[in-house]
Amino acid sequence: MIDILNDEYYMQLALELARKAQGQTGINPVVGCVVVKDGRIIGVGTHLKRGTGHAEVHALKMAGDEAEGATVYVTLEPCSHHGKTPPCCERIIEAKASRVVVATEDPNPQVAGRGIKRLREAGIDVTVGLLGDKSNAMNEKFNKYITTRLPFVTLKTASTLDGKIASRTGDSRWVTGAAAREQVHTLRHQHEAIMVGIETVLADDPQLTTRAAVDAIDPVRIIVDSKLRLPLAARVVTDRSARTLVLATEGADESKRTDLEQAGVEVIACGAGPHVDLKLAMLKLGELEIGSILLEGGGRLNGAMLAAGLIDKVILYYAAKIIGGSDAPGTFTFDGFAKMADAIQLTDVHVELAGADICVTGYPQYGEQ
């Protein structure tokens, strides 16, 4: 007899294992696995890094011979194809597990139900859908990239209550408090790339690395710089701890491009117009297997990305401050809409405190682009 309460308990454990690996798996999903037999946990596993063993492999290795007749709880459908590692469904079959509980099917076209089908063909009882919404939310970046080959873009901004990201003099240190800034470093760790505009680099000379409380892989740095104004002395150029990509136009200065490339920067031409073609840029970044981007742009880049329908998620930090200034830069700078009814609506909105600051998370809904 299936015990739903126990099933949820063990799947929650598997989801927690997966959550702890966020930011470590690159374009791969985060996956957790728990193996249970006679009411005892005999194996646990997490996918820790692309190209290494999947969660099921680690958990079954821990379980050993006891895995025969056990129930395997896994947050994503076991793979059925040979990629960088062997198929996990075959490993489960070899272990002679009697039941597998899967949170959600894998949207990867190479899997897409095939792993579940293979397990059932082998006589294993398979239950699908338990806490699937939580698994899908955790893998929202992977789910978009694997089905579209486009990066999932999360916009992060910090502004005052009146929507200013800096004062009229350009001062922006600090809009929000320490708790919000610490969360931002965690966000950087959870994305494969950070994207800013050239104005941000010229104004602040940021390093754009992760300063998390744990050892972290620094994300790729992406600078939108149509005319290649990036100084060779900028820290994103001189600091080699992370890869730096510059998005420019085809007409950008060729000698400056050569200088940047000799300094270790990768320059990518995105369109022949006066400004970077952002939609083309997303295609090219996807081809480079960059599956997720944290956008930390100024108002113009934020506005251009939003107007192009390229932002998938927004995380907006608001400090309990009002600074004013008609010339002070705002969160979004673009032509906007003539009618309030046409405004971009956020769905699945969540509001919480980050220290003394307010954090609003939501998903933009776009009309026809």
Does the annotation place 211 within a ligand binding site?
yes
Q: Does 226 belong to an annotated binding site?
A: yes
> Do the annotations mark residue 298 as ligand-binding?
yes
208 marked as binding residue: yes
Q: Where do runs of H (alpha helix) occur along the chain?
A: 4-19, 55-63, 88-94, 114-121, 132-138, 140-148, 178-189, 198-204, 235-238, 254-262, 278-287, 299-307
Q: What is the DSSP letter of 98?
A: S
The reply to whether 158 sits in an annotated binding site is yes
270 is in an annotated binding site: no
Amino acid in position 346: L
Element (H, E) at 69: none
Residue 319 annotated as lining a ligand binding site:
no
148 assigned to a ligand binding site: no
79 is annotated as contributing to ligand binding: yes
Q: What's the token pair of residue 222?
A: 């992406």
Distance, in Å, from the CA atom of 316 to the CA atom of 61, rounded to the nearest integer, reads 43
Residue listed under structure tokens 């990201």: 165
Distance CA 7, CA 75 (A): 12
- The yes-or-no answer on residue 352 being catalytic is no
Task: Tell me whether residue 155 is annotated as binding.
Answer: no
Extract the runs of DSSP E, i.e. beta strands, from the chain.
Answer: 32-37, 40-46, 71-74, 99-102, 125-128, 152-160, 193-197, 220-224, 244-248, 266-269, 292-295, 313-319, 345-354, 357-365
Are 135 and 102 in contact by the 8 Å Cβ rule? The answer is no
**Residue showing tokens 């994503």:** 76
The annotation status of 188 as a binding-site residue, yes or no, is yes
- Tell me whether residue 300 is annotated as binding: yes
Alpha helices for 45-130 (secondary structure H): 55-63, 88-94, 114-121
Q: Is 88 annotated as a binding residue?
A: yes
Catalytic hit among 8, 16, 56, 352 = 56
- Residue 304 annotated in ligand binding: yes
Q: Is 135 annotated as a binding residue?
A: no
Type of residue found at 117: K
Annotated binding site for Zn(2+), which residues?
Answer: 54, 79, 88
Residues with catalytic roles: 56
Annotated binding site, which residues?
Answer: 54, 79, 88, 158, 172, 174, 188, 200, 204, 208, 211, 226, 296, 298-304
Annotated binding site for NADP(+), which residues?
Answer: 158, 174, 200, 204, 226, 298-304
Annotated binding site for substrate, which residues?
Answer: 172, 188, 208, 211, 296
